Amino acid sequence: MKFFFPDSQDFVDDSFDFETETRSSMRVRQRDDRYPHEIFATPPYNGLLVSKAVVDGLGGGTGKYSAPQRHRFLRVGVREYFRLEATSLETMGDCGAFTYVREERPPYTAAEVADFYSDCGFHYGLSVDHVILGYNARLDNQFESLDLVPSDWRARQDMTFELAEAFLQYCQAKQKRFVPIGVAQGWSPQSYAHAVDVLQKLGFRYIAFGGFVPLKTLDILACLRAASAIRCPETVFHLLGITRCEHVQAFGDFGVVSFDSTSPLRKAFKDDRNNYYTDSGAYSAIRVPQVEANPELLRKITAGQVQQDEARRLEAACLHALTAFDRDETTIDETVTALHEYEQVFDPSADRSAVYRRVLKDRPWKHCPCEICLRLGIHVIIFRGAERNRRRGFHNLFVFNHQLQGHLDRRPGREPVFQGSER
C-alpha cells in the first residue's frame, strides 16, 4: 500500500531560529527550504502527488504556484524541482479537479494533461475528470424504468468517461512512458462499479476513485465492494484524498494499492483539538498567537479594547514559560497560568487550561524519536506561525506513516513509536 503526499508548497525554513523568531537574510525560499523527505532519514511517504491546476495557479488555494515557480517546474521537471533524484520516491500527477468543480467542463484537454505528465517526468498520471457533487446509495434501488439520478451527475460521469478514453488513446498514440490512471466518478456503489467496468473496457488497469472525501467509511467500503466484484485480476485501485488508516487492510482486500491525503499535515493547524499525532491518540497544540498576526486581537487593539503593550507582555510570558518548562525550570501550574492569562486576551470565551495541563503533564514530544521533535522540543507543539505549525504537520506525517506500516504489518511484537523513557 503506497501513500502519496499531495504537494501544496509545504516546506520549512531550515534557518529559522525558534528562540528569536528570526531567519537568515540570505534565505531563498525555493532553494533553501526543506521538504519532509529532506528532513527525515526515511521519507514519511512513498511518493508525491502534484496537481496540474496547482502548478498552473488555478483556484483559490494557498499552495498554488507563482509564475517563477511554475516556469521552473516546467523547465526542470518534477524530480529535480522536488529534489527527488537521490530518492526512490515516485510521482503521480492529477488535474486538481476540485479547483474547477463549479465549472461546466474541465479547463483541460486530455492531450494537454498527458503532455504535462510526460514533459515533467511523472511516473503516474490521472485522466481528466469532473467531480460529481453528491452521493445517494438509495438510487441503486430505484425502479429501472424510473431514472431519479440528477442529469448533471450523469453528464459529469459521461464526460469523465469521454476524457479518459481520449487520454488513453493519446497516451498510446504518442507512446507516453508514464502509467495512465483512469478516474472513476460516481454517486453510489453501483455507479462506481459501472465506472470501473467502463474504464477497464477502455483498457485501464490502474483506476483512481474520486469523490470519496466527504463519504463515511461504510459508504466507501460499499463502493469498493461493488467495484471489486467486477474488477479484473490485474486491475488495481487508488483512493484520492482518503486516509482512514485503520481500514487499509479492508481497502487492500478490495484491490486498493495506493492512496493520497494531506490530512496528517492539515490537522496540525486546521483542527480545533487533534493537532499533534501519537500512536495512542492526539493532543491539542498550545496556542500562543503572534500579536501582530492575529486579526481578532488586532481589531481589539485598534478598538482600544486591548492594550498592545500588555498583549505583547503576555505573549512573551507564555513563550518564556513554555521554554522554561521544557528545561524543567518552572511548573505546570505556572505555565498554565501564563497561558490562561494570554488566552483571556485573544480568546476570552475559551478556557483550554485542562487541555494544556494534559499536554504538559504527558510531554509527548519528549517521547517521540522523529527528527522534528528531537530538534524542536516543546516548540513542535506550540500553535504559532507557519514554521512551527508545518513542522508539527511533518511530525504527523511521520507518525501516520508508522501507523500505516503497523496496520499493514501484522507481525506480533511490533513496538509503538512512542515507547521508552523520557529524554
What is the DSSP code string of 35-77? -HHHHSSS-SSSEEEEEHHHHTT-SS-TTPPPHHHHHHHHHH-
Q: Is the pLDDT of residue 418 over 70?
A: no
Kind plus residue range of the DSSP H or E element containing 127: none
CA distance 204 to 256: 15
**Same domain membership, residue 71 and residue 193:** yes
The residue-averaged pLDDT of 72-80 equals: 97
* 136: in domain: yes
Residue 21 resides in a domain: no
pLDDT tens profile 188-246: 999 999 999 999 999 999 999 999 999 999 999 999 999 999 999 999 999 999 988 88
Segment 107-117 mean pLDDT: 98
pLDDT at 415 exceeding the cut of 50: no
The mean pLDDT value for 382-390 works out to: 97
Report yes or no on 412 lying in a domain: no
Closest among 288, 287, 280 to 403, alpha carbons compared: 280
How many percent of the chain have pLDDT more than 90?
Answer: 87
In a shared domain, residues 216 and 295? no
pLDDT surpassing 50 at residue 411:
no
CB atoms within 10 A of CB 52: 22
**Same domain (yes/no): 211, 255:** yes
pLDDT of 32: 86
Q: Is 214 contained in some domain?
A: yes
| Whether 234 and 86 share a structural domain | yes
- Quick one: 191 and 304 in the same domain? no
Tell me whether residue 373 is in a domain.
Answer: yes
Statement to judge: residues 212 and 361 lie in one domain: no
Indicate whether 246 and 317 sit together in one domain. no
Domain count, the chain: 2
Residues 80 and 163 in one domain: yes
99 shares its domain with 145? yes
Q: Would you state the cell numbers that stand for residue 240, as one nine-digit string? A: 484520492
Where residue 420 falls among pLDDT bands split at 50, 70, 90? very low
Let me know whether 170 and 210 are in one domain: yes
257-280 pLDDT tens trace = 999 999 999 999 999 999 999 999
The verdict on residue 3 lying in a domain is no
Residue 133 lies inside a defined structural domain of this protein: yes
- For the segment 163-177, the average pLDDT, to the nearest whole number, is 98
* 219 and 96 together in one domain: yes
What is the percent of the chain with per-residue pLDDT over 70, rounded to a whole number? 95
Grid cell at residue 104: 461546466
Cα separation, 238 vs 225, whole angstroms = 14
Residue 207 lies in a domain: yes
**Cα(195)–Cα(230) distance, integer angstroms:** 10
For residue 275, the enclosing domain spans 270-407
Whichever domain contains 174, its CATH number is: 3.20.20.105
Kindly list the catalytic residues: 94, 260
